[in-house]
């Protein structure tokens, strides 16, 4: 079981307002989980450009859940399928370059409506000449 408590405020510290232009609302989310009689509590902070007077706690909760759903799904694909966390590239700009290449691969798959990235990568290993399929229709 998980209980989430959302606290929102329009009063943000000056350093936050200086660092993040357009920030209007601060959030504090307290997550309490009870899994197999083990209780844990986690506090998460966030800022948003949404005005507090224009959004309800329920709507904000929905926005946050959607954000983390997208974040978690993307990390799963990058880490598990593309093995990003196992990368040993450490010199110069190599890690940024390869992160960019991974982004290109994922975006080409998305543009071609690929739902299962792992299966598509396996397919491309068996039929390497078909990679050009992903470049068709792109305006370079």
Using one digit for the tens of pLDDT, what is the confidence trace for 2-56?
898 999 999 999 999 999 999 999 999 999 998 888 999 999 899 999 998 888 8
Q: How confident is the model at residue 140 (pLDDT cuts 50, 70, 90)?
A: very low
- The pair of three-digit structure tokens given for residue 26, joined into one six-digit string: 């601060």
SS3 93: coil
User: Which pTM was predicted?
Assistant: 0.54
Residue 11 to residue 106: CA distance in whole angstroms: 39
DSSP 3-state helix, strand, coil percentages of the chain (rounded to 5)?
50, 20, 25
What is the per-residue burial (b if ≥16 Cβ within 10 Å, else e) of 34-64?
Answer: eeeeeeeeeeeeebbebebeebeeeebeeeb
């Amino acid at each position: 079981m998980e209980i989430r408590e959302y606290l929102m405020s329009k009063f943000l510290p000056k350093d936050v307002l200086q660092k993040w232009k357009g920030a209007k609302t601060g959030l504090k989310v307290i997550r309490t989980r009870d899994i197999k009689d083990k209780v844990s509590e986690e506090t998460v902070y966030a800022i948003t450009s949404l005005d507090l007077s224009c959004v309800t706690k329920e709507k904000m909760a929905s926005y946050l859940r959607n954000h983390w759903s997208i974040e978690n799904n993307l990390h799963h694909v990058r880490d598990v399928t593309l093995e990003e966390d196992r990368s040993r590239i450490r010199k110069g700009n190599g890690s940024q370059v390869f992160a960019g290449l991974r982004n290109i691969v994922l975006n080409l798959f998305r543009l071609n409506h690929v739902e299962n990235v792992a299966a598509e990568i396996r397919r491309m290993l068996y039929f390497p000449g078909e990679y050009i399929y992903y470049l068709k229709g792109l305006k370079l």
